[in-house]
């Protein structure tokens, strides 16, 4: 655990230059250790940067305040998304990283979606697991060319299907290359999330300029 920067976080250096660094963003009640095994599984050899959310809800870390389940304190969402984007910039300078691809689950996916809309330059793309619309009145973002994988659960009791579809529409409208898949599962992660995310990250790495340089 490192505390030298603005978020408590874990960092694992990458072993493959063609593998995109991942920004791991845990769900409510998680911490910086939570998604490291998932990151290692879906992107072997990628650098992993994993901060702990700074907001505490009944002692459980989160990335922004909410008024109740599914109802967000949007001023806090905005401030926290900027704070996270600033941390990413700091960490990139300290660790010598390319812009990372966010891999967020639940509350972590929601802050990643907010960061994409408010600070598109902070992220090269994102995997959003069980995300919902983070801001009711988001600014017009330019997400042209950013790859985004959104995985929703058909039986998710927290994220209504209409809300996930609206998020996919907002991101696509901003120019992102959105792949939205609805899996036969609930809010929790399933083996299908791991397999779909692994395949998507493999394709992303194969299409990156670094791998083109290595191949050529």
Residues that bind ligand MLT (CB under 6 A): 27-28, 66, 69-70, 106-107, 110, 158
Query: Which is nearest to 201 in space by CA: 64, 47, 3?
Result: 47
- Token reading at 88: 């990413």
Report the residue number, 124 or 128, with the smaller CB distance to ligand MLT: 128
Report the residue number, 70 or 188, with the smaller CB distance to ligand MLT: 70
CB 36 within 8 A of CB 80: no
Q: Verify whether residue 180 is a known catalytic residue.
A: no
- Token reading at 121: 């330059």
The nearest distance, CB 70 to ligand MLT, in angstroms, is 5
Report the residue number, 46 or 106, with the smaller CB distance to ligand MLT: 106
Alpha-carbon separation of residue 38 from 77, 86, 132, 143, 173 (angstroms): 25, 24, 21, 26, 29
Among the options 187, 198, 208, 211, which is catalytic? 187
Cβ-based neighbour number of residue 53 at 10 Å: 26
Among the options 34, 106, 152, 193, which is catalytic? 106
Report the residue number, 80 or 146, with the smaller CB distance to ligand MLT: 80
The nearest distance, CB 1 to ligand MLT, in angstroms, is 22
Q: Verify whether residue 208 is a known catalytic residue.
A: no
Report the residue number, 11 or 63, with the smaller CB distance to ligand MLT: 63
Among the options 18, 26, 50, 156, which is catalytic? 156
Could you give the CA distance from residue 203 to residue 216 in angstroms, rounded to a whole number?
17
The nearest distance, CB 86 to ligand MLT, in angstroms, is 20
Could you give the CA distance from residue 117 to residue 120 in angstroms, rounded to a whole number?
6
| Residue whose C-beta lies closest to ligand MLT | 107
Q: Verify whether residue 26 is a known catalytic residue.
A: no
Q: Which residues, at least 6 apart from 169, have a Cβ–Cβ distance to it below 8 Å?
A: none
Cβ-based neighbour number of residue 120 at 10 Å: 19
The nearest distance, CB 158 to ligand MLT, in angstroms, is 5
Q: Which residues, at least 6 apart from 214, have a Cβ–Cβ distance to it below 8 Å?
A: 17, 18
The nearest distance, CB 130 to ligand MLT, in angstroms, is 7
Name the residues annotated as catalytic. 106, 156, 187
């Amino acid at each position: 655990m490192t505390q030298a920067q603005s978020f408590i976080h874990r960092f694992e250096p990458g072993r493959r230059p063609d593998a995109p660094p991942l920004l791991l963003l845990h769900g409510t009640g998680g911490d910086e250790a939570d998604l490291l095994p998932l990151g290692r599984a879906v992107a072997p050899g990628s650098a992993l940067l994993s901060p702990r959310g700074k907001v505490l809800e009944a002692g459980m870390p989160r990335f922004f305040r909410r008024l109740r389940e599914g109802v967000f304190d949007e001023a806090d969402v905005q401030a926290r998304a900027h704070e996270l984007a600033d941390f990413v910039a700091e960490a990139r300078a300290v660790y010598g990283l390319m812009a990372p691809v966010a891999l967020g689950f639940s509350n972590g996916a929601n802050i990643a979606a907010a960061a994409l809309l408010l600070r598109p330059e902070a992220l090269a793309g994102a995997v959003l697991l069980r995300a919902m619309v983070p801001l009711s009145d988001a600014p017009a973002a330019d997400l042209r060319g950013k790859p985004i994988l959104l995985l929703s659960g058909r039986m998710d009791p927290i994220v209504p299907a209409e809300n996930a579809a609206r998020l996919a529409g907002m991101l696509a409208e901003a120019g992102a290359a959105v792949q939205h898949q609805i899996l036969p599962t609930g809010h929790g992660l399933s083996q299908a999330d791991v397999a779909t995310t692994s395949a998507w990250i493999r394709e992303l790495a194969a299409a990156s300029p670094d791998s083109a340089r290595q191949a050529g």
